[in-house]
Amino acid sequence: MKISILGAGAMGCMAAGFLVKRHDVTLVDIWKEHIDAINKNGLRVRFQGEETTVHPKATTDPNEAKDADLVIVFVKSTQTAEALEKNRVLLGPHTLVLSLQNGYGNDQDIMKFAPKDNIIMGTTDRAASVLGPGFVNNSGGRYIHIGPLGEDMSGAEKVAAAFRECGLDTSVCDNKHVTEMIWDKLIINCANNALVALLDINTPLLLEEHLSDSFKMLLGESVKVARACGLPFEESVYVDKNIALLKSLSKEARTSMWQDVNKKRRTEIDRMNGAIVKLGREKGVPTPCSELVVHLIHAIENKYV
Ligand code: NAD
């Protein structure tokens, strides 16, 4: 399969590290130093302390990766529309587009550039981080769940088979279930991500007194908005789910929004708690706690030098 990965950051490179085993993979990114390093020395991937070097193609020029069979969008959710606009050439009439990004609204952004029937959405618990130009850490993870935005499952089945060939455990579900899975991850992200970034703490500390009350307030608002959007979610189930997740994390775990703030990068807050606020307004669900954390995260971003 000819695969172009739009966004060669942590997750794009992690995916390339697997997919290059069997497919023709090109990483596309605007970060020239990183792309040059991959072309010069290969892509170094660290996993559980062991390092391997793989050799996907890498470019800052989307013309070198056009008309792919599959484009995987791995820019931040706030960058999806702009990145696709600037890299339209990657998409031919039959190109499948897959998003495993976090946040709300990636599907609507992608639909401006590709027919609904070509779009596949999904979630993963896989995680990664960039260690330097041409060098990433694959933090592991177990699953990838994908499903079509439309009714036709054949594209998603093809992508899942291509992923499985390379050791990525991938399951396929229909559009209703994939929407539920994206919301499921969104609710958990909205409960934890911003609080950890604002308080500069390790994620499992959210289990402590006051902090658990805080995540429950955010989570409660997100679940109410999800229900107003037609999703069959229960607040108590999500509280238990988040407690189980927080208990399962390593003591040093930090959320991706903490990583962004720590590196003085724009966060995905507008596509997480910000999306809850926006949808809440549309559906008449009050979301004051979510609105507060959106303002606080933006205030931090505005202080970056
Ligand atoms: P990242 O910041 O490491 O990588 C994004 C890359 O996109 C950067 O290298 C950036 O230069 C590139 N980019 C930005 N604009 C571009 C453009 N116009 N054209 C080409 N490239 C462009 O981000 P990430 O951590 O890999 O996350 C990507 C998505 O995956 C996010 O939605 C994130 O929430 C989600 N996600 C991340 C993890 C994780 O562990 N990192 C896990 C699950 C999901």
**If the chain, 305 residues long, is cut into consecutive pieces of 10 residues, what is the mean pLDDT of each piece?**
98 98 98 98 96 98 96 98 97 97 98 97 95 95 96 97 97 97 98 98 96 98 98 98 95 94 97 98 98 98 95
User: Residues 167, 190: one domain?
Assistant: no
Ligand 1 contacts CB of residue 83 (under 6 A):
yes
Q: Which of 173, 203, 233 is the last residue of a domain?
A: 173
User: Residues 205, 163: one domain?
Assistant: no
Catalytic positions are 185
Ligand 1 contacts CB of residue 138 (under 6 A):
no
Minimum CA distance residue for ligand 1 atom 35: 101
What is the rounded distance in angstroms from the CA atom of residue 207 to the CA atom of residue 221?
18
What is the domain count for the chain? 2
Q: Which of 74, 146, 196 to mutate to test the pocket of ligand 1 (most atoms within 8 A of CB)?
A: 74
Q: Which of 173, 194, 213 is the last residue of a domain?
A: 173
Residue partners of 34: CB distance under 8 A and separation at least 6: 8, 58, 130, 133, 134
User: Residues 187, 111: one domain?
Assistant: no
Take residue 251 and report the two structure tokens written for it. 């003591």
- Whether the model clears a pTM of 0.85, i.e. scores above it, the answer is yes
CATH, residue 111: 3.40.50.720
User: Residues 214, 264: one domain?
Assistant: yes
Q: Can you tell me which residue has the tokens 């605007």?
A: 30
pLDDT at 170: 98
| 243-291: pLDDT as tens digits | 999 999 989 999 999 999 999 999 999 999 999 999 999 999 999 999 9
Ligand 1 contacts CB of residue 103 (under 6 A):
yes
Q: Which of 173, 191, 218 is the last residue of a domain?
A: 173
Ligand 1 contacts CB of residue 269 (under 6 A):
no
User: Residues 152, 262: one domain?
Assistant: no
User: Residues 166, 220: one domain?
Assistant: no
CA of 101 to the centre of ligand 1 (A): 8
What is the domain extent for residue 185?
179-302
Supply the DSSP string of 236-266, one letter for each residue.
HHHHHHHHHHHHHS-TT---HHHHHHHTT--
User: Residues 80, 212: one domain?
Assistant: no
pLDDT at 19: 98
CA of 76 to the centre of ligand 1 (A): 4
User: Residues 74, 126: one domain?
Assistant: yes
User: Residues 118, 231: one domain?
Assistant: no
User: Residues 123, 185: one domain?
Assistant: no
CATH, residue 263: 1.10.1040.10
